[in-house]
Amino acid sequence: MPYVDRQNRICGFLDIEDVENSGKFLRRYFILDTQQGSLLWYMDNPQNLPVGAKHVGFLSLTYISKVSDATKQRPKAEYCFVINAGMRKYFLQANDQQDLVEWVNALNNATKITVPKSSDPVHSESQKLTSNGNKKQVPYKTEIIAGVAVVTQTQDGEVGHSVAGEKLGLRKPPNHPPYLHTRAGQDQAVIKAGYCVKQGALMKNWKRRYFVLEQNSMSYFKSDLEKEPLRIILLKEVHKVQECKHSEIMMRDNLFEVVTTSRTFFVQADSPEEMHGWIKAISGAIVAQRGPGRSAASMRQARRHSSPCIQRYTPRVTQGSTEGHSWAL
C-alpha cells in the first residue's frame, strides 16, 4: 500500500506496463507529488539510488482524466488499474486489492477537478481533497483548452493525505500461514521473507537484500535466487529489535534496528506496515526461542550457571599451621 513520506508525498512500488498493450510490466517506485502536480517513477526508491538519479517516467496530474480498476481490460494482470491521460492509457499493477484501491483513490483525489460554469470558463474554486476522512481546501484554476479541462493550482498550499500502511517490496509471495513455506535447501521453516535495504558495516552504503527469518536465525541474501546467505544472524545473539530512533538523522523512512552482541544492523523496509511486520515477526521468533521476558544476556547467564562448576585450587595460610589448603568455586 502507498505511504506518505517526510515531504508529504505518496510513495510506493507498482508494476507499470513498459509499452502500451505489450503486456510486459516492470517494477518501479512511484512518487505522487500533489504540490508539484506530478506523478514520477524511478528504478528504485531514490534513497537507494546514486545522488542525482533521474526519474525514468513522468506524468503531469493535469493530464489525468480518470483512474479506475482495469482487471477486466487486463485479465492476466492481477490487481491492475489504468490511468487515462490524454491519448495514452497507463496500465499499472498493484501488490494486492487494498493496494489497488488506495492508489486509485489517491490518484483520483489528487487529480479531481470541478468543471467551470459555461458563463465563466476561467475561474478559481476550492477543490476538496479527501483521504481517510481528512479534508483540506486548495484553490485551483480550471481552464477548458481544446475541449480538455486543464487544472492548475493558483497559489502555494499543501495538500495533506493520510494514507494507511502499505506492502511494497517486490511481488508479494503467496499468503501462506507461518512456518509452512520453506526455502529450498533449508531445514528450518521460514517465518517471514522479503526484500529490505540494509546499511553496510564498513562503507555505510545501502543495498537491497533478501531477508529470511527462521526459527533460530535471520539471514540475508544478495537476491531471492541465491542459496548461500551473505550473513546469518543468530536470534540468541539479538538483544532487541525496534524502530530506529535515529531515522531522522539517517534520513531513512521505515527504518528499524536489530541490536546484537557485536553489531547493530540498520534495516529499511519498503513501508511502515512492512517495518512493523518485521519487528513483530523477529520479536515473536525470539520469544518463541527463549520464552517470554528473557533477554540474550539472561540466556548467556543461564547457560553459565547451568555449566558444571570448575574448582580452582588456592593455597591459604591458616592459624596453627604453616600452610593450609582450600577450594574456591
Per-residue cell: 254: 521505515
Closest CA to 220 of 205, 206, 230: 230
Question: What is the C-alpha to C-alpha distance for residues 83 and 59, in angstroms, rounded to an integer?
Answer: 10
**Which residue bears the cell 543468530?**
234
3-state helix, strand, coil in the chain (%, to 5): 20, 40, 45
SS3 state of residue 111: helix
- What DSSP letter does each residue of 22-67 carry, written as one string? S--EEEEEEEEETTTTEEEEESS-GGGSPTTPPPSEEEEGGGEEEE
Q: Which residues contact 53 (CB under 8 A, 6 or more apart)?
A: 42, 43, 46
Question: What is the C-alpha to C-alpha distance for residues 271 and 277, in angstroms, rounded to an integer?
Answer: 10
Alpha helices in the chain (DSSP H): 97-111, 247-250, 272-290, 296-306
One-letter amino acid of 39: L
The pLDDT tens digits along the chain (329 residues) read 789 998 899 999 999 998 888 888 999 999 999 988 899 999 999 989 998 899 999 998 888 878 999 988 888 888 999 998 877 899 999 999 999 999 999 998 887 643 344 444 444 443 343 344 454 555 655 555 544 555 565 554 433 333 333 333 334 444 443 333 445 445 678 999 999 988 888 877 788 899 999 999 999 999 999 999 999 999 999 999 999 887 666 667 889 999 999 999 999 998 899 999 999 999 999 999 877 655 555 555 555 555 554 444 445 544 544 444 443 43
